[in-house]
Amino acid sequence: MRRKSALDNGIADVSPAILHGAAPISHAADVARRSAVAEEQEFLDSVMARRDRLVDHLQAELSSGALEEWERARLRLLRRRYEELLRAQERLVFGRLDGLDGTVRHVGRVGLRTDDEDGGPLLLDWRAPAARPFYTATAVDPQGQARRRHIHTTGPVVDGVDDEPLEAGAATELVGAGALLAALDQRRTGRMSTAVSTLQREQDDVIRADATGPLIVQGGPGTGKTVVALHRVAYLLFTHSAIADQAVLVLGPSPRFLRYIAQVLPALGETAVVSATCDTLLPDIHVGRGESRNLAEIKGRALWQAALESYVTALLPRPRALRLRWEGEFHVIPATAVAQALASVQGRPYHRAREAFAEQLHHLLAEAVVAQREALMHEMEEGFEDILARVDRSVQRDHQPGGPTGSDIDGLLSEEEVEDLRRRIAENATIARFVESWWPTLDTGSLLGDLLTDRARLARFAPQLSTAEIAAVSAEPAPWAPSDIPLLDALADLLGEIEAPPPQGEFVADHARRQRGWVYGHVVIDEAQELSEMQWQMVLRRCPGRSITAVGDIDQAEAAHRHTTWAQAVQAAFGDRWTAAELTICYRTPREVMDLTGPVLRKAGSHNTPPRAVRSCGIAPWVLTVAPAELADTTARLVRQLRQRWHGGTVGVIAPADRIAELRSVLADVPVLTATQSKGLEWDAALLVDPQGIAAAPRGWNGLYVALTRCTQELGQLVLG
């Protein structure tokens, strides 16, 4: 692959869009910029050529088959690198640091070395420690840097540069303000894009934070929580090979949201990632129905963990003497030996304990069989000796003294014979049937069904529930609801399902995705404020090492749980052993819209302040009153206008749940969502239909706060009059 330089084509120019607020530009400044662009173009050409040579080389290596395991492992690594390089088309180079000591380093999506003898650094990977000043150096703390440059590219062409001197001058809150604001002003495509070239200091702090314990990141709407979460995944996988070996789980609120972010992770160069919602975490189990808030709240409580634990403990067999038949003879294993064996397997999941107990039982039975044989032999031996003694005596009488006697026959089985006996016992179908009838194998789904539909059992194992709550739970229909998933997961864990060996697959994510009990290297949760206590337990089970990053906005919580602070939300999972971080700047929603949100937050009962908007769009949010009968038609007309105004961008409609169907029937090609469904999403223009209706729902003021903050430019509200 050879690429022609954009300069050779004579198309390199400074795009006017990039000369942020630079009017009028002096001739000298213009010349300086053109020469900077030319310089960066030359560099980009060399980096692209280097990347292309590497891609060709890797392609050739990958085409050779590998038979040996070590060779296949090597090829897996090469494939990862190959795919990373293939994806690094856009923004291959996006930054440059000029050190106070005269050094020049370029920062990009991937790291590259020169292909000469010494293979020195050509391009710094954005995740490398040396690239950090690109995101964190300031005039007050320049970290050895004289200047930061943002390089704007479209494919192989350098469009422009933004220079930020770091030596002196006023400290600004933003890093690379020009580049950031240009990125934020772009039309929305409906797909999240990478912000790797414009990450801000407080975001970078979270992305590179220590990963040894739970980190809870609070951030208001549009503060880049999703951006941070995804870049953190890429950073951790790059920096910690142990995390990469175990894969990272990304938990999002909905499939729609996962589709929205889907483009970002591969673009960041990562394949060791599994993304899911709490509802889709269990392989082969599907949510088949919705449920009321009341039930979701009851079944999300942490009490179920202890309830399920005592439920499973009650299913364990009680010690008693066991009578087993082996080769026609009955053998009794005494109650004390059974109790001892049971005690030794205690604390293990039900099926694992059963497996370990069965093994011990095979030993005990083998011992009993051996003991019985020995006793028999002994008896026979005694009888035999008796006969021999009598024969001896008669022989003695007839002949001389001495000669062999029966005392040489000891009747003991050899070790090999005992081992063979144990093996035969372990493989014997009758013994297996006996164990199964005494300690049966259980099915998670049926077991949970048995508990949830039985009031007496519920009262016994979940005594904290009131009679009315028990009645509500037991009246639920059969297919699984979202709140059942964490219960099924907890139960499956307590039972210790015997999982099939991991299927063959090229990447660790393929294995992880198919195994319920997979332990991930790290878990990242977006919209974490929505998780119930039982869902937090589900997270913990997948990462017992607690290497967890949770981002969310407690003020956007709409789920059925009652938590209004992070401390309450994570108390059952982490106690007070977690670290808090905060994001305070809103990048999405313009100032004009954010100004409306303070009172809504107060109504939601929050004492927090909305984040500070980084930009204003110059468009005043508007409100239109409409009669209920005209609501659908007016909405359709307004959406048509918005789509014209935001041609090439995106428009979304948010409405109360009971108006969605009607509105969808008149709005075929724009998303019409509830506030909950719109969580995490954004459009250039958002139309809120019946905001009072949105606020009237349970936790409705939180919902309205979400709804108000989905637009990047224009907000319209249609109120009923």
Ligand X SMILES: Nc1ncnc2c1ncn2[C@@H]1O[C@H](COP(=O)(O)OP(=O)(O)OP(=O)(O)O)[C@@H](O)[C@H]1O
- Backbone φ and ψ for 500, nearest 5 degrees, come out as -65, 150
User: Taking the complex as a whole, how short is the minimal distance between the CB of residue 600 and ligand X, in angstroms?
Assistant: 14
In the complex with ligand X, the residue whose CB is nearer, 224 or 649, is 224
In the complex with ligand X, the residue whose CB is nearer, 41 or 226, is 226
Q: Cβ-closest residue to ligand X?
A: 224
User: Taking the complex as a whole, how short is the minimal distance between the CB of residue 260 and ligand X, in angstroms?
Assistant: 9
Cα(97)–Cα(142) distance, rounded to whole angstroms? 11
Cα(596)–Cα(710) distance, rounded to whole angstroms? 13
Q: Which residues bind ligand X (CB under 6 A)?
A: 180, 183-184, 195, 198-200, 203, 219, 221-227, 553, 587-588, 680, 682, 709
In the complex with ligand X, the residue whose CB is nearer, 191 or 640, is 191
In the complex with ligand X, the residue whose CB is nearer, 216 or 540, is 216
Cα(162)–Cα(184) distance, rounded to whole angstroms? 15
In the complex with ligand X, the residue whose CB is nearer, 41 or 717, is 717
- CA angle 507-509-515, nearest 5°? 120
User: Taking the complex as a whole, how short is the minimal distance between the CB of residue 493 and ligand X, in angstroms?
Assistant: 31
For residue 335, give the nearest of 359, 319, 317 by alpha carbon: 319
For residue 247, give the nearest of 264, 270, 229 by alpha carbon: 270
- CA angle 370-375-377, nearest 5°? 90
Helix (H) or strand (E) holding 253: none
User: Taking the complex as a whole, how short is the minimal distance between the CB of residue 219 and ligand X, in angstroms?
Assistant: 5
Cα(240)–Cα(300) distance, rounded to whole angstroms? 33
User: Taking the complex as a whole, how short is the minimal distance between the CB of residue 681 and ligand X, in angstroms?
Assistant: 7
Is it true that the peptide bond before 283 is cis, omega within 30 degrees of 0? no
Cα(537)–Cα(47) distance, rounded to whole angstroms? 46
- Report the 3 state secondary structure along 370-404: HHHHHHHHHHHHHHHHHHHHHHHHHHHHHCCCCCC
User: Taking the complex as a whole, how short is the minimal distance between the CB of residue 43 and ligand X, in angstroms?
Assistant: 23
Does 222 carry a binding-site annotation?
A: yes
Does 223 carry a binding-site annotation?
A: yes
Residues 6+ positions from 426 with CB-CB distance below 8 Å: 358, 359, 362
- Torsion, CA 492, CA 494, CA 500, CA 505, rounded to 10: 80
In the complex with ligand X, the residue whose CB is nearer, 183 or 719, is 183
- CA angle 119-120-123, nearest 5°? 110
In the complex with ligand X, the residue whose CB is nearer, 279 or 682, is 682
Which amino acid type is present at position 617? C
Helix (H) or strand (E) holding 18: none
User: Taking the complex as a whole, how short is the minimal distance between the CB of residue 487 and ligand X, in angstroms?
Assistant: 28
In the complex with ligand X, the residue whose CB is nearer, 305 or 712, is 712
Total number of residues shown for the chain: 721
User: Taking the complex as a whole, how short is the minimal distance between the CB of residue 46 and ligand X, in angstroms?
Assistant: 27
- Specify binding-site residues: 219-226
- Specify binding-site residues for ATP: 219-226
